[in-house]
Structure 1
Amino acid sequence: MLRKHIYLIGFMGAGKTTIGKQLAQKFNLPFVDVDQFVEEREGISIADIFEREGEASFRLRETKSLQQLSDCSPSIISTGGGIVERQENIDEMKHHGQVIYLSASFATLYERVADDTTRPLTSAGKSTLHERFQMREAYYENAADLVVDTEGRSISETCDFIVEQLGNNS
């Protein structure tokens, strides 16, 4: 049984929510998606926060939600792709658990999210997303306790690999 949270980080389309739900079942722990938690806590969609108040306002709400979730009992926590842009978020995650970076190539990630209109940043265009991916990649790698390449792995294979790695590191 885990005594700390598992935080899943990575760019949009990395599979944080899908993999997180399956890991939660494997570990018999609650699953929480930070983005969904923000929406429920604030009573407004992330897209509306971005549109009405901007990304900076969303990032503040995201940090407050992360802090609130970190104080709860151990969970599998799927984070938003930009959570690593604030050092206080990285510090919070590292203090309260293990940080797993789900990595994939930009081409793969873009293919997974290109048609998803529910994500505020997908409307920015491919080149803007690629710039953001390149900027965040070092943050993900530096924040991670474990980097998991999801290229060519099924969700089940990725989860099994994570369980195996966490078992070897506990």
Structure 2
Amino acid sequence: MNFVMDAHIALVGLPGSGKSTIGRYLARRWSVPFVDVDAAIEEQIHCSIREFFAKEGEARFRAVEQDVMEQLLAKPIKMIIATGGGAVLKSENRAQLAAHSRVVYLSASPHEIARRLQKDTQRPLLQVDNPLQRLLDLHGVRDPLYREVAEFVVVGTGLSATQVAQRVAMQLELGASS
């Protein structure tokens, strides 16, 4: 199938839900650019997000994140965008995503994500004594926001990254041909 993107495709979900992995897969499949918002932020701030969080705090980080997302979503070349896990917290970001992209929520259970990320040291919000509880708390707050902005939800619990990516691709390709 020759899928033509008519809008950016934005992936949302908890940290560790597979947004970057799935985004790279989709970009290769459709020969379009891929951008990881967190990587674009680090390029702009010239340090790691973890360092920036420690120095400037979450509120300042969210402001930079909003600016970077606005810049990306305004680009005329359609791309796959892996958002940061908390991008949906700001209503301005949700409005931008809804206006300029097709949004896919990559849903995975906090328990599975905790297992996947048990050795991760880069995600600032998960550098706590009980990462599973933090993920459960984040899920409670963010799940309704992901669902609010998403065109559709792909549940990845128990699936490989390739299986999730294929499901996302199928949904988008079917949606484009209807």
TM-score range, shorter chain: over 0.9
1:149 aligns to 2:130 (yes or no): no
Aligned position for 1:47: 50
> Helix, strand or coil for the counterpart of 1:147?
strand
| Contact 2:38 2:49 (C-alpha < 8 Å) held by counterparts | yes
- Deviation digits for residues 70-125 of structure 1, max 9, x if unmatched? 11110000011000101110110111110000001110011111220011111123
Shift of 1:17: 0.3
Aligned position for 2:139: 133
Q: Distance in 2 between matches of 1:19 and 1:61?
A: 24
State the AA in 2 paired with 1:3. D
Aligned position for 2:164: 158
Q: Which range moves more in the overlay, 112-121 or 52-61?
A: 112-121
Aligned position for 2:73: 70
| Contact 2:14 2:138 (C-alpha < 8 Å) held by counterparts | no
Q: Distance in 1 between matches of 2:71 and 2:9?
A: 15
Q: Distance in 1 between matches of 2:175 and 2:134?
A: 37
Normalised to the residue count of structure 2, the TM-score between the two structures is 0.92
Shift of 1:128: 2.9
Aligned position for 1:101: 105
Q: Distance in 2 between matches of 1:93 and 1:144?
A: 9
Shift of 1:130: 2.0
State the AA in 2 paired with 1:169. G
1:167 aligns to 2:170 (yes or no): no
Q: Any stretches of 5+ residues in structure 2 without a counterpart? A: none
Size of the aligned set, in residue pairs, is 170
- Deviation digits for residues 117-138 of structure 1, max 9, x if unmatched? 0111111233233212211111
Normalised to the residue count of structure 1, the TM-score between the two structures is 0.96
Aligned position for 2:8: 5
State the AA in 1 paired with 2:120. D
Q: Distance in 1 between matches of 2:157 and 2:144?
A: 18
After the TM superposition, list the runs of 4 or more consecutive aligned residues in structure 1 that deviate by more than 4 angstroms.
Answer: none
Which of 23, 27, 43 is the aligned partner of 2:26?
A: 23
**Superposed CA RMSD:** 1.0
- Deviation digits for residues 33-58 of structure 1, max 9, x if unmatched? 00000000121210111100100110
